């Protein structure tokens, strides 16, 4: 006896405007989600690149203090000031360092009692004007003379607020008094006035004729003085030099202080 087979045929599908609306809504939601993800990833990529660039600059922009010499004021070869009247800081760049703009460099120097925060002579951003007498077209010794002798109503004595620079090695000729940009391999001397009250009557400092017109720098660098000098560039790590001056300067006009 055979059993008949019964098959059910259902040819009715779910159609209509409701299904179409749901489908379109799903497509729109997926598109919006994809757009948000793409925008977010792009923003994160830009921030990561910017952060990486800044981090690299912070790590690689390093000044190196090669040596520091002190110069005493004098009237002649035998009549020397008892204190150091001028600091000559020889500075280069570390291996792999990015370029450093000395116009943005801040030098903090203390003799254990007084502290001066110094800017490059042409910097007019902080005080509204550059160092009195500074000229970007003049030689370093002209600007050094104004550093030692000059003053202005604001901020005051040049020696207490500014420093000047002389280039020693500049193979790519990128360094000038107007644009003091240091690149890898460059070597410069930074001049910081250290004239104290007892040095005001002397006529010459490091070959610069002052005629007793030099101004008090507010620093007093005598024998056995604990000194600290901090160089803070626009970007990168700070550079610090700490030392104690010798117990006697003897008859020397120039004294090696660091290292």
Say whether both 56 and 71 belong to one domain.
Answer: no
Same domain, 113 and 149: yes
Domain tally, the chain: 2
With beta carbons less than 8 A apart as the criterion, state whether 192 and 91 touch. no
The reply to whether 4 falls in a domain is: no
- Render pLDDT for 203-232 as a digit per residue (tens, 0 to 9): 999 999 999 999 999 999 999 999 999 999
49-87 residue pLDDT tens: 655 545 444 444 489 999 999 999 999 988 999 999 999
At residue 148, the 3 state secondary structure works out as helix
What is residue 159's DSSP assignment? Answer: G
User: Is 227 inside a domain boundary?
Assistant: yes
**Number of neighbouring beta carbons within 10 Å of residue 249:** 19
Q: Has residue 48 been placed in a domain?
A: yes
73 and 20 within one domain:
no
Mean pLDDT of the chain: 88
Q: Residues 194, 168: contact at Cβ < 8 Å?
A: no
Lookup result for tokens 């990529």: 45
Domain that holds residue 22: 16-60
pLDDT at residue 94 greater than cutoff 90: no
Residues 132 and 149 grouped into a single domain = yes
Task: Decide if 91 is inside a domain.
Answer: yes
Rounded to whole angstroms, the Cα distance separating 121 from 103 reads 8
Regarding whether 115 and 35 lie in a shared domain, the answer is no
Classify residue 1: in a domain, yes or no: no
Residues 208 and 222 in one domain: yes
- Cα–Cα distance for residue pair 224/246, rounded to 1 Å: 6
Residues 101, 41, single domain; the answer is no
pLDDT band at 23 (very low <50, low <70, confident <90, very high): confident
Give the other-Cβ count within 10 Å of 99's Cβ. 13
Does residue 114 share a domain with residue 235?
yes
Task: State how far the Cα of 229 lies from the Cα of 109, in Å rounded to an integer.
Answer: 5
Total-model pTM: 0.78
Together in a domain, 82 and 200: yes
Residues 67 and 54 reside in one and the same domain: no
5 in any annotated domain: no
What are the pLDDT digits (tens) for 100-116?
A: 999 999 999 999 999 99
CB atoms under 10 Å from CB of 229, counted, come to 22
Q: Are 64 and 45 in contact (CB under 8 A)?
A: no
């Amino acid at each position: 006896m055979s059993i008949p087979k019964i098959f059910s045929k259902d040819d009715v599908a779910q159609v209509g405007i409701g299904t179409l609306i749901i489908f379109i809504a799903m497509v729109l939601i997926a598109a919006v989600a994809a757009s948000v993800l793409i925008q977010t990833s792009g923003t994160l990529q830009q921030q990561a690149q910017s952060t990486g660039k800044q981090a690299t600059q912070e790590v690689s922009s390093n000044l190196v203090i090669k040596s520091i010499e002190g110069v005493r004021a004098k009237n002649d070869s035998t009549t020397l000031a008892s204190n150091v009247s001028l600091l000559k800081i020889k500075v280069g760049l570390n291996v792999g360092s990015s370029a450093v703009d000395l116009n943005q460099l801040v030098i903090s120097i203390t003799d254990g009692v007084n502290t001066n925060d110094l800017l490059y002579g042409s910097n007019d951003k902080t005080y509204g004007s550059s160092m009195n007498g500074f000229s970007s077209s003049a030689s370093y010794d002209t600007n050094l003379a104004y550093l030692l002798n000059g003053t202005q109503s604001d901020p005051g004595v040049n020696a207490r607020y500014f420093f000047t620079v002389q280039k020693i090695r500049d193979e790519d000729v990128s360094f000038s008094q107007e644009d003091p940009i240091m690149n890898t391999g460059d070597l410069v001397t930074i001049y910081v006035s250290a004239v104290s009250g007892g040095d005001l009557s002397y006529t010459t400092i490091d070959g610069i004729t002052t005629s007793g017109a030099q101004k008090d720098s507010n620093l007093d660098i005598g024998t056995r003085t604990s000194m600290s000098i901090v160089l803070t560039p626009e970007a990168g790590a700070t550079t610090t030099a700490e030392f104690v001056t010798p117990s006697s300067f003897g008859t020397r006009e120039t004294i090696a202080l660091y290292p």
